[in-house]
Amino acid sequence: MKSNIFQNSKDVFLDTVNAKDYVQLDRVSTIYQALKDSVKKPLKMILLYGKPGTGKSMFLMKLYHDLSASQKVYIYQTPILDESEFYKTLAKDLFNVKYKGELNFTQFMLIVDENLIDETPLVLLDEAQLYSNPLMEKIRLLSDTRKVKFLITLHKTEKEDLIAKEHFQTRIWESIELENASSAELKIYIQKKLMKANCFDSANMFQNKSVNLIHKLTKGNYRDTNKLLYTLFDIYSWYDENNPSKINKNTISNKIIEMSAIHTGLIND
């Protein structure tokens, strides 16, 4: 095994959102295809929801990457919380209208009416739970015109089922939920990510026993798994450089998994 393999493996699990990092799993691919099919339907609004770390932002980036060459699609990864700035950004991106000064909803709707376009633009809004209720209500009304189609992502929390929110009930025609990975899916996810980066040796280190422990600690959450493995390979990299006799390069150590979990806060020491 090359001396830098652990550093390379660590970089694989950086907490970034890039369409190239999308890992194809059977269940995930089925959900993604359902999402692509929903976009083609005459729906006013589509909801992609799930707990934090289930891959919503990755789905959105993948969809944007796949569709942008063939249709008008716009992605807003960071919510634009100021209403006027939100409308001004949409006016510029969707209709190439640059508006100076404050822009309210009524004025924006006039811009929409005055700028008829052949193809309904698709707007992808990430982290939509951060938008205010009044702004979400305006987005709802805008979707009712059928002149703009919205696909929004929302966190699903334990205390509140966001689908039940009043301003979504009658407008969303399709909702798709993302869930955490099973232990078997997590193993495929980890190994595929490593193999895509040509880290074949470290991919082979993950056996069922170690993956089961990782799954127990992260509950199959992709974001938590990425954080855990980033720390794990950081520890391996240190040992490889400073005390290589202490590590087995054939299998992942449960002790180092637990050390990583303590460091990332998944285990309270």
Evaluate if residue 170 carries a pLDDT over 60.
Answer: no
Determine the Cα–Cα distance for residues 73 and 185; give it in Å rounded to an integer: 30
Q: What is the CATH number of domain 26-178?
A: 3.40.50.300
Evaluate if residue 199 carries a pLDDT over 70.
Answer: yes
When the pLDDT of each residue in the chain is averaged and rounded to a whole number, the result is 87
Partners of 124 in the β-ladder: 75, 151
Per-residue model confidence as pLDDT tens digits over 97-144: 999 899 999 999 999 988 877 788 999 999 988 898 899 889 988 988
Per-residue model confidence as pLDDT tens digits over 63-77: 999 999 889 999 999
Evaluate if residue 163 carries a pLDDT over 50.
Answer: no
Domain edges within the chain = 5-15+181-264, 26-178
Per-residue model confidence as pLDDT tens digits over 27-61: 778 888 888 888 888 777 888 888 888 888 888 99
Evaluate if residue 210 carries a pLDDT over 90.
Answer: yes
Mean pLDDT of all residues in 198-224: 95
Mean pLDDT of all residues in 234-262: 94
Evaluate if residue 168 carries a pLDDT over 60.
Answer: no
Tokens, residue 88:
């001004």
Determine the Cα–Cα distance for residues 86 and 69; give it in Å rounded to an integer: 24
Tokens, residue 249:
């390069």
Evaluate if residue 81 carries a pLDDT over 70.
Answer: yes
- Cβ burial of 62 (10 Å; 0-12, 13-18, 19+) is buried
Whether the model pTM is above 0.75? yes
Taking a C-beta distance cutoff of 8 angstroms, is the pair 105, 87 a contact? yes
